[in-house]
């Protein structure tokens, strides 16, 4: 049994529970993968399996990775992700890893990459208040002064300024599993999860 699976975020919808309440849910599709590599303590210092999923054309794979797939005897895949395990004896090369390997869990932790918003100003990025537009004021959406006096004569580390926004690793804990459809490899998670649609997220047992 593993404690992590990988899924593609499909999108959000609604689900009505047994009492008739409308629950907002995020639909994720669990990726069906295969064990490409097995790592152990003696060779690598820890126990883990490397899972490959998302089939890809052979011409789009570099030679070192292609030789790895041929050695294992599986078709080329785009994604390779690692899962740490307590014991690797129960895993074999080429073994299928999917929704059935995760078992049952009422609460999960989801790790994903938030949407990238590019370069944004301090109002959008840090919720700063804009300047007034009357009485000759010329500072409307600027961040304001960032410096200090002679002492310490520097900009403090971590100062909230304009810059790159989003595209960061986000972890959301204790997300409720509303419904599981094993035959379709779909899981309904209560509320929102980080990332854009069609992005890969990590789902771990809480």
pLDDT tens for each residue of the chain, 206 residues long: 788 999 999 999 999 998 999 999 999 999 999 999 999 999 999 999 999 999 999 999 999 999 999 999 999 999 999 999 998 998 999 999 988 878 888 999 999 999 999 999 999 999 999 999 999 998 899 998 888 888 888 898 999 999 999 999 999 999 999 999 999 999 999 999 999 999 999 999 98
Domain residue limits, the chain: 4-117+169-205, 118-166
Calpha distance 47→43 (Å, rounded): 9
Calpha distance 167→116 (Å, rounded): 4
Max Cα–Cα distance, the chain, nearest Å: 75
Q: Can you give 129-153 as a three-state secondary structure string?
A: CCCCCCCCCCCCCCCCCCCCCCCCC
CA torsion 135-138-141-143 (nearest 10°) is -110
What pTM value is reported for the model? 0.85
Cβ-Cβ contacts under 8 Å for 37 (sequence gap 6 or more): 49, 50, 68, 72, 93
The matching CATH number, chosen from 2.40.30.10, 3.40.50.300, 1.20.1300.10, 3.90.1300.10, for 4-117+169-205 is 2.40.30.10
């Amino acid at each position: 049994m593993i404690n992590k699976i990988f899924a593609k975020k499909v999108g959000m919808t609604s689900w009505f529970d047994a009492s008739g309440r409308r629950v907002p849910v995020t639909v994720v599709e669990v990726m069906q993968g295969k064990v490409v590599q097995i790592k152990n303590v003696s060779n690598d210092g820890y126990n883990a399996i490397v899972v490959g999923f998302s089939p890809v054309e052979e011409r789009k794979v570099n030679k070192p990775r292609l030789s790895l797939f041929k050695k294992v005897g599986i078709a080329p895949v785009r994604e390779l992700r690692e899962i740490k395990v307590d014991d690797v004896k129960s895993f074999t090369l080429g073994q299928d890893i999917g929704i059935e390997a995760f078992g049952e869990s009422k609460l999960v932790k989801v790790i994903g990459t938030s949407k990238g918003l590019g370069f944004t100003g301090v109002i959008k990025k840090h919720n700063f208040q804009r300047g007034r537009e009357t009485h000759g004021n010329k500072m409307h959406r600027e961040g304001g002064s960032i410096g200090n006096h002679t002492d310490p004569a520097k900009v403090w580390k971590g100062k909230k300024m304009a810059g790159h926004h989003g595209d960061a690793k986000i972890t959301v804990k204790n997300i409720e599993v509303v419904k599981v459809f094993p035959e379709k490899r779909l899981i309904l998670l209560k509320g929102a999860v980080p990332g854009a649609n069609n992005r890969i997220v990590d789902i771990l047992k809480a």
